């Protein structure tokens, strides 16, 4: 059956880790209070991984924060992701992206400890390392020629015999592979919910099912939001609404475009007899990625379809992904099919996320457009937005390259 996103399997979460017991505010009770009850220094619009990471960071600094989500926590792109934290394997053209990715991956490991101590929740975060395999010397040369990021990547070269020794489950004809031992992966829905839950435990308020959000600004800047549930006032509004961020910004005349890039994925499960054929590290190949997850499944992805916003999954895409995946990991042919899903990545015209203050409207911030690396960049985005809410400038943090108005300044948008 095709689903909107990978359900987070119950068995990965042990009964003590409270995933099921993620307590949302009792909406009926909370929303009967007078609108003026809803005051917070900072309101975050959007409960994906980015909004929840920001709520976590602000709450951990003792800031007063309210997050509003139109649907449920982790119901957008964050529930469709593969959860790879591919800081060394992604080929970032911009040096700030490369640095941010590296820092964020390490910060996520620190957050894991903090979240676990606070809530007992298991994020399925593991540092199992990624393998980028090649069929031939020619493929390796082409890969090296194309790559932007050549320095600072933590990797080892494995020749054929090392591959055969270290990854028994990988195609025996593999010419060689890069092995990146620091690479990690996480269960994205668990991460998002854990950020939200931890934020709540540190005093943040999380409201789901809040629709029709209208930003209220005047000549002094941000005043609050109007919603179908009432008005809520604040000093800072952070738009972390993924693909819908653009529409919200439009309400107040700010133009920060983003466009959809659909991705399809599927999950398989190895049977007990095939235990030796199951990958124990992520395969990050040119044509497919294969990610063994903490829940026992192996996730295979992903297609990239610019301009598509629908959640259908095509047989053709599944055939292509399974073909590529079973070339690298032949055991996949015998594995059980579990499910397939599609999600929509929020991309921007220059491929960089919008993270920072919106010039001209005091108190308004953007945190969206993380395209194919929002899970990876969640932790650092939370840290930077919290720094700015506390008064630091983008220059001081060194992230002017992600400034929301950069495209206007460069004349990309007229």
Ligand X SMILES: Cc1cc2nc3c(=O)[nH]c(=O)nc-3n(C[C@H](O)[C@H](O)[C@H](O)COP(=O)(O)OP(=O)(O)OC[C@H]3O[C@@H](n4cnc5c(N)ncnc54)[C@H](O)[C@@H]3O)c2cc1C
Please report whether residue 9 would count as binding ligand X according to CB under 6 A. no
| Nearest partner of 181 among 105, 248, 128, 259, judged by Cα | 128
Please give the angle made by the CA atoms of 353, 19 and 79, to the nearest 5 degrees: 35
Give the torsion through C-alpha atoms of 374, 378, 380, 384, to 10 deg. Answer: 100
Residue 361 sits at φ, ψ, to 5 deg, of -125, 100
Residue range at the interface with ligand X (CB under 6 A); choices 154-162, 214-222, 242-250, 387-395: 242-250
Residue range at the interface with ligand X (CB under 6 A); choices 46-54, 175-183, 272-280, 400-408: 46-54
Spell out the residues 6+ positions from residue 39 whose beta carbon is closer than 8 angstroms to its own: 232, 233, 234
Residue with tokens 């007899």: 273
Question: For ligand X, which residue of 237, 305, 322, 376 counts as binding (CB under 6 A)?
Answer: 376
Question: Which residues 320-349 are close enough to bind ligand X by CB under 6 A?
Answer: 343-346
Give the strands of the sheet with 65-69, arranged side by side: 205-208, 65-69, 42-45, 236-239, 364-368, 354-357
Please report whether residue 198 would count as binding ligand X according to CB under 6 A. no
| Nearest partner of 205 among 34, 27, 77, judged by Cα | 27
Please report whether residue 263 would count as binding ligand X according to CB under 6 A. yes
Please report whether residue 115 would count as binding ligand X according to CB under 6 A. no
Residue count, binding to ligand X (CB under 6 A): 43
Please report whether residue 355 would count as binding ligand X according to CB under 6 A. no
Question: For ligand X, which residue of 241, 267, 313, 355 counts as binding (CB under 6 A)?
Answer: 241
Q: Kindly state the smallest distance separating residue 120's Cβ from ligand X, in Å.
A: 24
CA-CA distance, 98 to 87, in Å (whole number)? 7
Please report whether residue 81 would count as binding ligand X according to CB under 6 A. yes
Q: Kindly state the smallest distance separating residue 263's Cβ from ligand X, in Å.
A: 3
- DSSP class of 205: E
Q: Kindly state the smallest distance separating residue 140's Cβ from ligand X, in Å.
A: 24
Please report whether residue 5 would count as binding ligand X according to CB under 6 A. no
Prior bond to 302 cis, omega within 30?
Answer: yes
Question: Which residues 82-101 are close enough to bind ligand X by CB under 6 A?
Answer: 82-84
Q: Where are the alpha helices (H) located in 291-371, listed in sequence order?
A: 315-328
Task: State the residues that interact with ligand X by CB under 6 A.
Answer: 45-51, 68-71, 75-78, 80-84, 213, 240-244, 248, 263, 265, 301-302, 343-346, 368, 370-376
């Amino acid at each position: 059956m095709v689903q909107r996103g990978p359900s987070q399997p119950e068995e990965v979460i042990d009964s003590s880790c409270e995933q099921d017991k993620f307590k949302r505010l009792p909406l009926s009770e909370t929303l009967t209070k007078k609108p003026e009850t809803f005051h917070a220094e900072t309101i975050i619009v959007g409960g994906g991984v980015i909004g929840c990471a920001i709520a976590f960071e602000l709450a951990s600094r003792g800031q007063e924060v309210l997050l509003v989500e139109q649907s449920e926590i982790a119901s957008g792109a964050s529930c469709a992701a593969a959860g790879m934290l591919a800081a060394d394997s992604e080929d970032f053209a911009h040096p700030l992206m490369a640095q941010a990715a590296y820092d964020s991956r390490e910060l996520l490991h620190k957050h894991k400890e903090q979240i676990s101590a606070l809530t007992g929740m298991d994020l399925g975060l593991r540092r199992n390392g990624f393998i980028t395999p090649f069929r031939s010397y020619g493929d390796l040369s082409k890969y090296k020629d194309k790559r932007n990021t050549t320095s600072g990547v933590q990797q080892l070269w494995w020749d054929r015999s090392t591959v055969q020794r270290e990854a028994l489950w990988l195609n025996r004809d593999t010419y060689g592979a890069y092995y990146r031992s620091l690479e990690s992966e996480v269960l994205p829905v668990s991460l998002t919910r854990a950020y939200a839950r931890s934020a709540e435990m540190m005093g943040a308020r999380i409201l789901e099912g809040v629709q029709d959000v209208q930003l209220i600004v005047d000549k002094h800047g941000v005043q609050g939001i109007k919603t179908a549930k009432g008005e809520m006032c604040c000093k800072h509004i952070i738009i972390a609404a993924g693909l819908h961020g653009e529409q919200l910004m439009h309400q107040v005349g700010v133009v920060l475009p983003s466009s959809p890039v659909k991705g399809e994925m599927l999950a398989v499960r190895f049977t007990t007899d095939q235990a030796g054929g199951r990958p124990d590290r992520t395969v990050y190949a040119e044509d497919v990625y294969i990610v063994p997850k903490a829940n026992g499944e192996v996730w295979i992805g992903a297609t990239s379809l610019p301009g598509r916003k629908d959640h259908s999954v095509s047989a053709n895409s599944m055939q292509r992904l399974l073909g590529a995946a079973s070339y690298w990991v032949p055991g996949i042919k015998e594995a059980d099919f579990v499910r397939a899903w599609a999600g929509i990545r929020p991309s921007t015209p220059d491929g960089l996320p919008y993270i920072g203050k919106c010039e001209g409207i005091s108190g308004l911030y953007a945190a969206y457009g993380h395209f194919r690396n929002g899970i990876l960049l969640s932790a650092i985005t939370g840290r930077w937005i919290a720094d700015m809410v506390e008064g630091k400038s983008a220059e001081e943090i060194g992230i002017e390259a992600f400034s929301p108005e950069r495209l206007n300044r460069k004349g990309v948008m007229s």
